[in-house]
Amino acid sequence: MITGALKQQIDAIWNTFWTGGISNTITIVEQLTYLIFIKDLDETETRNERMAKRLKKDFTPVFGPDQQNFRWKNLKEMDVQARHEVFNNSVTGIFPFIRSLGGKKSLFSTYMKDAAFGINKAATLDLVIEKLERINMDSQDIKGDIYEYLLSKLEGGGTAGQFRTPRHIIKLMTQLMQPTLEDTICDPSVGTAGFLVAAKEYIDKHYSVTELDKHSEHINKHMFSGTEFDATMLRIASMNLFLHGVQQPNIVDVDAVSKDNAVSNAYTLVLANPPFKGTIDKESIAPGLRNITDTTKTELLFLALMLRQLKKGGRAAVIVPDGVLFGSGKAFKSIRSEIVKNHKLEAVISLPSGVFKPYSGVSTAIIIFTKTDNGGTDKVWFYDMKADGKSLDDKRNLLVDEATFNNFAFAKALTEKELEDLAKDHDKFNLPDILARYPKRYEDTRARTEQSFLVPFAEIEANDWDLSINRYKEIVYEEVEYDAPEVIIDRIENLSKERNALLSKLNLN
């Protein structure tokens, strides 16, 4: 959630739309998203131009010689009316241009075909561009936070249990899974494509330009997939991925757990935060999912879907509500037993209940598993995250150094000094500790009173496949000594005497 000066800047832009006669929330979100996309498109082009010049290497520009007036750096310098005409022209203007990006038959162009300019007043566009220009959006985290804030205005943060995943939790999950250039990555509840963007950023930071170029076709056409049935989210996800160098992402317009989605054995990695508390009509559910968990609850059906869509050996990191971990219903038990018995459950990381505030106080956890089809769960690593670097109230204020908070996940190698500094902040920021311990999780010998520990398969089976950390964590109670009853009674009698004496003095006066 954005706060402070950035929130004030976005609210000021929002008010500009209102005073300009645009009051529909969806319209404001879409128009502002288009403008951010156009701004980012030019900034990305500028970075590529500089890199090509520095490396003395050719690159394919997005803007042709006749499209230079579509670049943000040139748009912001135009006459107010001339600029508005560039946006408003439905034949040769900027919107026909952005609808054509990604190729005529690409899913990007399919979802962008309905993108249309909706700011009727040239003065309103001028004010919005002027205010956008003042916002430093170099960091993808900032752009992500802006998207999250705008979307919160659409749905109050979420609908049908759909809550935007905090960026640092996305980074944690991505870093734990360590995507590679050989992966095919899916988010079946893609939203704004936050997980897929984080995976792309991770890959960009961990591979050389030469290696990325070698795999460019795979990256652009095959690596990233997702499903989403909200038209606004489809456009935002497509624009978000396009800006991160994925020209033809496979973001499909479909209800993921419905019959319309027949994908199976297709992906090597799933990163997701599927909807909580949603339901779907029995008749609409994809064949086979109810064989794993006979339910209409989306939080369970999505787990069954992931098992179907993963290739053998594929892995997943998924956020689930706590009810999935300990629910006593048959459907809850069946999906847990399926993952633990027939595949390999690697870890359960309990998240603080304030992670999704101010939109929800729901308790959640990250579960990590590998599809094996023949079991393999020996011991499951549990971690009790108590602090995520932000206050757990509605304000969600940062509690640690901002640079550390933003950069820890993608550091290739931390110095001893940096590791020491991170360790000092452990009480406020558990994420570095999770990243350090996860690769060595099966060597964890800590007691059940600690933040992390191992639980054997047999014990989980004996507990009816319960995966809640509280089932296995041991609580140490501090011994408290109380005074003897006669001492307490004497103390009460003395207090009573003092009170009576004070009342007597008051009455005399």
Euclidean distance between CA atoms 164 and 145, whole angstroms: 10
Q: Give the per-residue pLDDT at 371.
A: 98
The whole-angstrom separation of Cα 442 and Cα 429 is: 23
CA distance 248 to 179: 19
Looking at domain 4-138, which CATH architecture does it have? Up-down Bundle (1.20)
pLDDT digits (tens, 9 = 90+) for 33-84: 889 888 888 988 898 899 888 888 888 888 999 999 999 999 999 999 999 9
pLDDT digits (tens, 9 = 90+) for 484-501: 888 899 899 899 988 888
Residue 147: pLDDT band with limits 50, 70, 90:
low
Q: What average pLDDT does the segment 462-483 reach?
A: 89
Query: What's the CA gap between 458 and 380, in Å, rounded?
Result: 11
Q: What are the phi and psi torsion angles at 347 (to 5°)?
A: -160, 155
Residues present in the chain in total? 509
Q: Residue 315 in contact with residue 371, Cβ under 8 Å? A: yes
Once rounded to an integer, what is the mean pLDDT over residues 194-212? 91
Cα–Cα nearest to 170, from 143, 203, 197, 137? 197
> Which residue is associated with the tokens 């520990």?
453
Chain centroid, CA 182 distance in Å: 23
Q: Which of 9-23, 166-180, 316-330, 476-490 has the lowest mean pLDDT?
A: 476-490
Q: How many CB atoms lie within 10 A of CB 444?
A: 16
Are the C-beta atoms of 315 and 268 separated by less than 8 Å?
Answer: yes
Question: Is the pTM higher than 0.85?
Answer: no
Comparing 16-20, 68-72, 145-149, 464-468, the range with the smallest average pLDDT is: 145-149
Spelled out in words, what is the top-level CATH class assigned to the domain 144-468?
Answer: alpha beta
d(CA 29, CA 20) in angstroms, rounded, equals 15
What is the model's pLDDT at position 227?
A: 94
pLDDT, tens only, 361-387: 889 999 999 999 999 999 999 999 999
Cα separation, 133 vs 80, whole angstroms: 15
User: CA-CA distance, 240 to 144, in Å (whole number)?
Assistant: 9
Task: Find tokens 């005074």 and name the residue.
Answer: 483
- The whole-number pLDDT of residue 1 equals 52
Handedness of CA 355, 360, 361, 365 (dihedral sign): negative
Predicted local confidence at residue 244, as pLDDT? 81
* pLDDT in the model for residue 160: 39
Classify 449 in phi/psi space as left (phi over 0), alpha (psi -120 to 50) or beta: alpha
Tokens representing residue 303 in the block: 């787990």
452: which strand partners? 383
244, 144 contact by CB (below 8 A): no
Give the model's pLDDT for residue 80. Answer: 95
Cα separation of 385 and 446, whole Å?
Answer: 15
Q: What is the pLDDT of residues 428-442, one digit of tens each?
A: 999 989 998 999 999
Q: Is the pLDDT of residue 409 over 70?
A: no
Residue showing tokens 């800006």: 243
Q: What does the pLDDT average to over 189-218?
A: 91
* Residue corresponding to tokens 């994420």: 431
| Residue 342: closest CA among 310, 318, 298 | 310
Domain ranges (residues) in the chain: 4-138, 144-468
Measured between alpha carbons, how far is 48 from 43 in angstroms, rounded to an integer?
9
Q: Please say if the pLDDT value at position 183 is more than 50.
A: yes
Residue 446, pLDDT above cutoff 50? yes
- 231-243 vs 140-155: helix crossing angle, rounded to 10: 180
The residue with greater pLDDT, 462 or 105, is 462
